[in-house]
């Protein structure tokens, strides 16, 4: 899918009555599983991508790295990819450059947050976190909108006002500013253990932007609550990876303890299942067709005129 069609699909999800479900992913494989499970779009998760590298989620990995993973995922699935772009990897110039790159690689939209560069994961303790000024962040939103080529490309503005303890009023003030500046959706982030403050935000927010939530710290939020509060999208940002870590630990411990993988096999997907996710059979079928066609063209037994040949090959 081109970036433009992906962007249109993401925009449609945000505009729909039914809350969209986004699933955090960190690889084409995890994105494909999310797609097969029925999720509506992929959240190219900064936490997951940095965790897979065993490196803190603190802008140590570069835009090049996050971009490559997001682009690889966009190639592998037919649902749109919304990219977690932290605070935009620097200033307005970095944001402009970033959007040129992300859009050209098939990404449907970017989410930028109003913290300073380098950002630190919102759930990390041990360091005071600071908001960027509203002016600076509004300028970044302008940079996104000016850089995008397709009208449909999506800019999700994420405010960390609740994360840094700036309060609900500041979150609402920023929501209004970001909407004016051109944002296409608003992500209200929270690290509270319950959804109250996020839900209170949705009640008081009078703007027109679709609202996105990320119930990592408040897992009790139920899907049925979303529509009731006018929430447009929910992002399950890191649960896939957290299940992977648990599974790999258990599996590897079992291998050492059992001395064999025999008893583990029923809990694993088969090699054939892995191959299917890689598209091995599709590849082999295609290659047999190409080789047969190649032989035919040489034998002279298929002196097709070019237009017909193109049609025929296209159907392989």
Q: Residue 134 interacts with a copy of itself (CB under 8 A)?
A: yes
Distance, in Å, from the CA atom of 226 to the CA atom of 234, rounded to the nearest integer, reads: 8
Q: Residue 249 interacts with a copy of itself (CB under 8 A)?
A: yes
Q: Closest CB to a copy of itself among 59 and 202? A: 59
Strand (E) positions, 135-195? 154-159, 185-188
What residues numbered 157-216 form the site for a copy of itself, per CB under 8 A?
177, 179-182, 208, 215-216
Distance, in Å, from the CA atom of 242 to the CA atom of 45, rounded to the nearest integer, reads: 12
List all residues 6 or more positions away from 93 whose beta carbon is below 8 Å from its beta carbon: 143
Q: Residue 17 interacts with a copy of itself (CB under 8 A)?
A: no
Piece of 5-13, 163-171, 197-205, 294-302 that binds a copy of itself (CB under 8 A): 294-302
Q: Closest CB to a copy of itself among 204 and 249? A: 249
Active site residue 57: yes
Provide the minimum distance between the beta carbon of 38 and a copy of itself in the complex, in angstroms, as a whole number: 6
Q: Do 45 and 25 form a contact (C-beta atoms < 8 A)?
A: yes
Q: Residue 137 interacts with a copy of itself (CB under 8 A)?
A: yes
Q: Residue 16 interacts with a copy of itself (CB under 8 A)?
A: no
Enclosing H/E stretch for 84: strand 81-84
Provide the minimum distance between the beta carbon of 95 and a copy of itself in the complex, in angstroms, as a whole number: 8
Kindly write out the interface string for residues 93-132 of this chain, putting x where it contacts a copy of itself by CB under 8 A and - elsewhere. xx-xx--x---xxx----------xx--x-xx-xx-----
* Parallel/antiparallel/unpaired status of strands 81-84 and 109-113: parallel
Residue 260 C-alpha from the chain's centroid: 37
Measured in degrees and rounded to the nearest 5, phi and psi for residue 113 equal -115, 155
Distance, in Å, from the CA atom of 162 to the CA atom of 191, rounded to the nearest integer, reads: 8
Provide the minimum distance between the beta carbon of 281 and a copy of itself in the complex, in angstroms, as a whole number: 6
Which of 42, 138, 157, 187 touches a copy of itself (CB under 8 A)? Answer: 138
Q: Which of 104, 128, 99 is nearest to 116 (CA)?
A: 128
Which of 12, 227, 228, 295 touches a copy of itself (CB under 8 A)? Answer: 295
* Cα dihedral 104/110/116/121 (nearest 10): -120
What residues numbered 23-82 form the site for a copy of itself, per CB under 8 A?
23, 27-34, 36-39, 47, 50-60, 62-65, 72, 75-76
Say which of 57, 86, 114, 184 is annotated catalytic: 57
What residues are annotated to the active site?
57
């Amino acid at each position: 899918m081109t970036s433009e069609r992906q962007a249109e699909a993401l925009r449609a999800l945000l505009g729909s009555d039914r809350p969209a479900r986004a699933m955090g992913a960190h690889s084409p494989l995890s994105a494909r599983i999310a797609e097969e499970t029925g999720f509506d779009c992929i959240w190219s998760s900064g936490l997951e991508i940095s965790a897979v590298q065993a490196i803190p989620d603190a802008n140590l990995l570069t835009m090049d790295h996050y971009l490559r993973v997001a682009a690889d995922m966009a190639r592998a699935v037919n649902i749109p990819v919304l990219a977690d772009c932290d605070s935009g990897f620097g200033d307005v110039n970095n944001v402009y450059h970033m959007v040129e790159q992300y859009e050209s690689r098939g990404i449907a939209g970017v989410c930028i947050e109003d913290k300073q560069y380098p950002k630190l994961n919102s759930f990390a303790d041990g360091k005071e976190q600071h908001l960027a000024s509203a002016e600076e962040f509004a300028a970044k939103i302008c940079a996104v909108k000016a850089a995008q080529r397709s009208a449909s490309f999506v800019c999700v503005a994420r405010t960390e006002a609740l994360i840094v303890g700036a309060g609900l009023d500041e979150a609402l003030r920023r929501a209004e500013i970001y909407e004016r500046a051109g944002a296409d959706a608003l992500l209200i982030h929270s690290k509270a253990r319950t959804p109250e403050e996020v839900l209170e935000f949705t009640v008081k927010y009078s703007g027109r932007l679709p609202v996105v939530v990320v119930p990592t710290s408040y897992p009790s939020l139920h899907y049925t609550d979303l529509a009731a509060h006018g929430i447009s999208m929910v992002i399950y940002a890191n649960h896939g990876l957290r299940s992977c870590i648990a599974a790999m630990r258990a599996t590897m411990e079992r291998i050492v303890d059992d001395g064999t993988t025999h008893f583990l096999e029923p809990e694993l997907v088969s090699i054939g299942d892995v191959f299917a996710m890689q598209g091995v059979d599709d590849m082999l079928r295609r290659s047999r067709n190409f080789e047969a066609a190649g032989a035919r063209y040489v034998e002279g037994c298929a002196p097709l005129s070019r237009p017909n040949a193109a049609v025929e090959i296209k159907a392989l």
